Amino acid sequence: MPQHIHGLEFGGMSQSPEMDDQGRLPLSTLVNEWRLTVKASALYGEAEEEFARDAEEFARGLDSLSLARKTPAEKRAEIFKLVDTYYHYAANKVHALRKSQGQVSRSDLRRSYDASSQDSMDLDDAENWPQSPVSARRLKTLELEAQTWDMLRRLLPLRYPNNKSIKPTRHDVSRFHSCSELWDDFLQSDSTAQERKAILECLQTSADESRTDIDELVRDYQQRAERGDIIAYGWLHTRHYIKMQKNVNGWSGALDPNASDVRQILQSGSTPLVTQLDPDVATRQDRKLQPQDEYFERAIWLGCYELLRRGRSIAEIRDWCVERTEVWRAVSMSAMPLSKEESEGRFPYDPLSLLLWRRTCFALARQGGTDDFERAVYGLLSGDVPSVEKICEDWDDFVYAHYNALLRTQFDAYLIKRLPLDATATITQAFPTFNAVQFHGDASSVGERLVRSLETNTKTSTEAKTPMKTLQAAIISNSLDQYTYDLGLALGKSANKYDISTLIPNFVDPSDEDFDDAKFPNLNDHNSLRIMVHVYLILSSLDELQGDLHVELSDRVKAQQNVVSAYVSTLRLMGLTDLMPLYCHQMQGDRSLFTLSRNVTGVLDDNEREILLRLMEKLNMDVGEFVKFQPRSLLQQYPDTEDSSPPFGRFTVLSNDQPTLKYGRHLKPDFLGEPPERLDPTDEHLIQSLEWFLLVDGLWDEVFYFGTAIYKRFLKQFNLYAARALSERVRCAEIFKRKAGIVYSDDSDVSWFDEVRASATAGSLEDHGIGEEEVAKAQNYFEMECLIRAIDSMETIASSESIAQDPVEKPGREFWTNVGREVKALKGYMRPILNNWLMESIEEDEDFTYLRDAYLPEMIIGYVSVLHFTGMTLTRDNLLECMELSAVIARKDADVAAVIMKAGRMKELVEGFANCSKALAISGSDKKTAAVNNSKRMMREHGWTRELWAVKK
């Protein structure tokens, strides 16, 4: 039979609730229906609500890739667009949180300031708002996520270009070519330089967005400068002191620092005061400023460093310096500031001047300056590392310092290579500079060695080992494939710490003590898992377009897919089950079906299950294979344990009490034992796996094949509560109804199966797709269902017998009516059991022989006891039926006599029949009127007469 599930629209950012052109519902309608169900059953906290929103947004974007049917180039563009979407989503969350806390980003604040003429818009307002530690941590977390997506959106287009051709460089350099033109040529010809520039711009942007405002940053030094609100006019205190000494001593003109009287008067401690006020006087004279002006100087250089570090444009740098009447500092930084805004990054200088300027800055960084921040400024401009590292505070600062040096060194080498040797020889030989490329060694592993060194740096080691910085380190060093493998190992190690996990297997060798999983997110870090699984899936999609996807499902790929499996489990725990198919679909091989099947066990509502099946169909997943995979994989993962114990005597319904004339041999009340609070998880999952079959058309052979296997498993293990649950939740009649449209109002009357068999033999069910073969496939399942339902009815009757024998109890009419109803049901269930039960099957099965030996003797003897008890309490007709049963068993073609003989219990059975015959002989009229049978009709049908058993005195 064909399988069919109507598909629903899955994907799109803002779908209309109306049907699409193919008559399918959009995702929004489907998810809203799901959300109402989930929220009605669970109260979400704020964190869970936020995670749910994030997960839905990210899934919506990812699904748009699944729906796309485009060329590789178009798909690549869609992937890059998705990364950009993720970045803007994260960035908007950062801005929203800042706004809710009374903060705004530094770039937004500058735009607001520029657009407004109100002096009341002060930077202080954004900094003085109180912020709790929890809010600060949350803001930092969001900023790291935005920074991560920013890195990826800048780097991935460079690493996965449409074509790998690099624009050829010019072979001649005219003296009219500016550095800006050469800079463009340099970037177009060198992919490594493009990546390093992108990394710098990302670090600049995040610093500009998240770091303390520069004016606030320098405020402490400004206050120590003791100049009030005056931020301009240079060294006020030094100028005032020199001017005062000139007036007192009658000096005029420029003071000679070597003059004895000047040296004596301007001596202050071990270092004398400067005698002039030009910018480099402190370095040239090796003298100092007044202490207040030293603080002012430090404030200025700190501001200049932050302007460069944040990638501000030369225009902004100039404005900041002009405001402080220090425009010369802007001029000194203007040659090549490497601003993040490309349009502002033009430097129209000739190449030789730039080479000389860089070396001059290097000399100032190493040998000049009076403050670490001043040397760091020139260190950034020259591409030096040691002078900048002195003031680096965090991981970002160190990475920025090194990549800035690498990029400037590369461009320096490019200029030297492009210019005539005689033009550059004098500069390069006379003025040294820092060669970052040579310092780092092998160019192919620079990034990897750099980020690894930060893990041992005392300033950055703690931060470098945090999950998000570990991820960013992998992005920068272009080692995301290795990172996702290590992350998969870490997740597997964590998931298997206390128990074996099949969903997230462990691939770490126990003897490998060097593996450090502390720097990866744990399974409870849901937001980090969300980020990392999407990074992995995006990289996998790009690799697939490049033809680099691993086709073979190696242990390495399996470990990487732990990332997806862990996130799917997170979605399940957070009640976002409707998103799981999308992520399972991204996995390779059976891992996709395995992960999904193990995570849908909490979905118990048929409507929710149908939604999942429709989502799977929309993703082109084989829903039939998914449904079949569940029981198959469970039976393979949890095989039935081999039990060599003989079957006889393991199942008992009879007590050891002596039989009585009135009740015969007693049944044990509640012989099934105490019902469990819940089924064993494996048993529950096996039953659930069959329930899924009811939701998919077709799969007739499979549902009965697996259903029969599960019934056999339960019955062989004498796991009768699980078998009873299966008989209640996946009834054979319901399977016929769902899959063949054959409906019977009361399936407790088992004659419906005989009617179906007869109709199938006659060919009248061909329109339903049912023939003799289909009925044969269902027969063993039906027969085992009859057994467990017979056992259930027999236990109910056994409990009723115990109540009837209790002298304290006074059973009423309703009690006996219920007993009669159970007896009628039991008689129906026993008919298939007494007639070649499990002897007719598609294939020979030794398990059926075991089940016949285990259950038939006890069930038949117990049935005789039931008929005896109800014959003496309800109607003598039950005693007559017991006599008929003896005749049925004694027939030559009867199959049950051999089983009873094999079990060595024929004597017990004969004694039971004898006790019934005695009871029938001495019994009078009916003790109770049972409204379950028409006695006269029944006697006519069977040729019975009560007078044969009436003993007259």
| DSSP helix/strand/coil, 522 | coil
The pLDDT-based confidence of 18 (bands split at 50, 70, 90) is very low
Give the pLDDT score at 547.
78
Give the pLDDT score at 601.
92
| DSSP helix/strand/coil, 664 | strand
Tens digits of residue pLDDT in 613-660 = 999 999 999 999 999 999 999 999 999 887 778 889 899 999 988 888
Cα separation, 54 vs 64, whole angstroms: 16
Is the pLDDT assigned to residue 111 strictly greater than 50? no
Is the pLDDT assigned to residue 569 strictly greater than 80? yes
Name, in order, each residue with C-beta under 8 angstroms of 879's C-beta and a sequence gap of 6 or more.
Answer: 867, 868, 871, 872, 916, 919, 920, 923, 949
Residue 288, strand partner residues? 273
How far is residue 863 from each of residues 113, 623, 667, 683, measured CA to CA in Å? 92, 44, 10, 28
What phi-psi label fits residue 800: left (phi over 0), alpha (psi between -120 and 50 degrees) or beta? alpha
Q: Give the count of beta carbons closer than 10 Å to the beta carbon of residue 33.
A: 14
Place of tokens 């005392």: 458
Give the pLDDT score at 326.
85
Give the pLDDT score at 701.
95
Q: Which two tokens stand for residue 263?
A: 């040296």
Instruction: For residues 753-760, give the mean pLDDT.
Output: 93
More reliable by pLDDT, 556 or 568: 568
Give the pLDDT score at 920.
86
Q: Give the count of beta carbons closer than 10 Å to the beta carbon of residue 656.
A: 8
Give the pLDDT score at 549.
60
To the question of pTM greater than 0.75 for the whole model, the response is yes
More reliable by pLDDT, 246 or 228: 246
Highest mean pLDDT among 112-126, 231-245, 706-720, 882-896: 706-720
Give the pLDDT score at 265.
73
Highest mean pLDDT among 263-267, 795-799, 805-809: 795-799
Tens digits of residue pLDDT in 448-465 = 999 999 999 999 999 999
For the chain, the average pLDDT equals 84
Give the pLDDT score at 456.
93
Give the pLDDT score at 346.
62
The pLDDT-based confidence of 774 (bands split at 50, 70, 90) is very high
Give the pLDDT score at 816.
93
Is the pLDDT assigned to residue 89 strictly greater than 90? yes
Cα separation, 658 vs 120, whole angstroms: 102
Place of tokens 């260190």: 379
**Rounded CA Rg of the chain:** 43
Of 205, 206, 95, 87, whose CA–CA distance to 157 is shortest?
A: 87
The pLDDT-based confidence of 13 (bands split at 50, 70, 90) is very low
Instruction: For residues 263-282, give the mean pLDDT.
Output: 73
Cβ atoms of residues 850 and 898 within 8 Å: no
The pLDDT-based confidence of 408 (bands split at 50, 70, 90) is very high
Give the pLDDT score at 489.
93
Is the pLDDT assigned to residue 165 strictly greater than 60? no
Is the pLDDT assigned to residue 935 strictly greater than 70? no
Give the pLDDT score at 441.
85
Give the pLDDT score at 381.
95
Is the pLDDT assigned to residue 109 strictly greater than 70? no
Is the pLDDT assigned to residue 788 strictly greater than 60? yes
Give the pLDDT score at 776.
94
Q: Give the count of beta carbons closer than 10 Å to the beta carbon of residue 937.
A: 9
Q: Which has the minimum average pLDDT: 113-122, 184-193, 585-594, 816-825?
A: 113-122
What phi-psi label fits residue 943: left (phi over 0), alpha (psi between -120 and 50 degrees) or beta? left
Highest mean pLDDT among 180-189, 238-247, 690-699: 690-699
What proportion of the chain, given as a percentage, has pLDDT over 90?
Answer: 55
What proportion of the chain, given as a percentage, has pLDDT over 70?
Answer: 84
The pLDDT-based confidence of 551 (bands split at 50, 70, 90) is low
Instruction: For residues 673-698, give the mean pLDDT.
Output: 94
Instruction: For residues 503-518, give the mean pLDDT.
Output: 81
Q: What angle do CA 882, 885, 889 make, to 5 degrees?
A: 145
In degrees and rounded to multiples of 5, residue 273 shows phi and psi of -80, 150
Of 793, 862, 798, whose CA–CA distance to 822 is shortest?
A: 793
The helix or strand, by DSSP H or E, that contains position 29, with its residue range, turns out to be helix 27-41
Is the pLDDT assigned to residue 862 strictly greater than 70? yes
Could you give the dihedral angle defined by the CA atoms of residues 922, 928, 929 and 932, in that order, rounded to the nearest 10 degrees?
-90
The pLDDT-based confidence of 952 (bands split at 50, 70, 90) is very low
Residue 664, strand partner residues? 660
Instruction: For residues 171-199, give the mean pLDDT.
Output: 82
Alpha-carbon torsion 388, 393, 395, 396, what sign?
A: negative
Name, in order, each residue with C-beta under 8 angstroms of 89's C-beta and a sequence gap of 6 or more.
Answer: 57, 58
Give the pLDDT score at 902.
93
Give the pLDDT score at 525.
94
Of 806, 900, 914, whose CA–CA distance to 859 is shortest?
A: 900
Give the pLDDT score at 951.
45
Highest mean pLDDT among 125-134, 322-331, 594-603: 594-603
More reliable by pLDDT, 794 or 282: 794
More reliable by pLDDT, 33 or 428: 428
Give the pLDDT score at 272.
82
Is the pLDDT assigned to residue 339 strictly greater than 60? yes
DSSP alpha helix (H) spans, 763-905: 772-805, 813-833, 846-873, 877-890, 896-903
Q: What angle do CA 203, 207, 211 make, to 5 degrees?
A: 160
Alpha-carbon torsion 801, 806, 807, 813, what sign?
A: negative
Instruction: For residues 269-273, give the mean pLDDT.
Output: 72
Give the pLDDT score at 343.
55
Give the pLDDT score at 728.
95
Cβ atoms of residues 301 and 374 within 8 Å: yes
Tens digits of residue pLDDT in 360-404 = 999 999 988 778 999 999 999 999 999 999 999 999 999 999 999
